[in-house]
Structure formats: C-alpha cells, structure tokens
Amino acid sequence: MTQSNEAFVQSLIKSLRGERGHIPIANALSDIDWELAGKQIDGIPYSIYQLLKHMIYWQDFLLLGLQGEQPKLPAHVKESWPDKSNAESQDEWQRVIQHFLQGVEQACTITQTTKLEDPLEKYPDVTRAEHLRNIASHNSYHLGEVVVIRRLLGSWPPPSGGYPA
C-alpha cells in the first residue's frame, strides 16, 4: 500500500469513528441513558433513540452492500425511521448502542482489509471507498443532531468532554 493510500485509510477510519472532525461517536453516546434517549423536544421530529436507530438502518444497509449484497431500498425514507421514540429499557438501549458501534468497527475493518478503489459487486458504479465515506458522512451528520438535542436537554458535555462545552 502506498503512503498516500495508507494516509487515506487512516483518515477514513478517523471519519468513521468521529475522530478529529468532532467528538468521537462512542464518547457522544456513552453516558446517554434510555430515558434521555427517548425524550422528545417540541419542534424536533425525533428523539436521540430514533436518530440512532435511523443511523443503524442505513449503516447496516451500506454494510450489506459492502458484503456483496443488494438490500432493497425502502419505498420511502420514512421507513428508515422507527415509530417508537424510545427503548423499553436500559438494556435495550445499550444493545442499540452496541449494535451501532459494532457496525462502525465493521466498517473500519473493511476499510483496512479491502481495496477501496474496487467497485461494489451489486453497485458497479460505486467504489468501496465511496460507500464507506457515505457511512461516515451520514453518521457524522446525525451525530451533530444528537449533540444539539443533548445540549437542548441540558445533557452536554459527556464525561469525556466536548468542544465547545
């Protein structure tokens, strides 16, 4: 692997984990309990729980594409959002967070072990790098919303810190 390719791989991994550009994703989620995750704010159409479930939906969708599958697109984007606004317990919420973070790490592993310039089997006009970048950018976009909701709920910064506090 060339030095520039290795630099790109490392940059993509940092983007997937949320490093450098903003607070690491795991840090932004680690101290949220299931009750806070389900709180609704007037004027905001979803809770943190719903945001994370939506992020999981598309992350899983894109990971399947990276594995050579061709999942069916939903008829409408609203199908990628859960109806219920909260988990039913702290255990369920922790499983949701773990599922999401495992998907992030799966994307990082794919980034390190694949030829990023190769096209996807079922989407020949899309490279593996493009698909992984989509995961990183989609997660980053919605992580920003999680941070704003946390601020509005008076639950910022997390114990690990956050900039700006």
Q: Which residues are annotated as a binding site for a divalent metal cation?
A: 54, 138, 142
The distance in angstroms from the start CA to the end CA of the chain is 39
Mention every residue, 6+ apart, whose C-beta is less than 8 A from residue 15. 21, 133, 136, 137, 140
Q: Which residues are annotated as a binding site?
A: 54, 138, 142
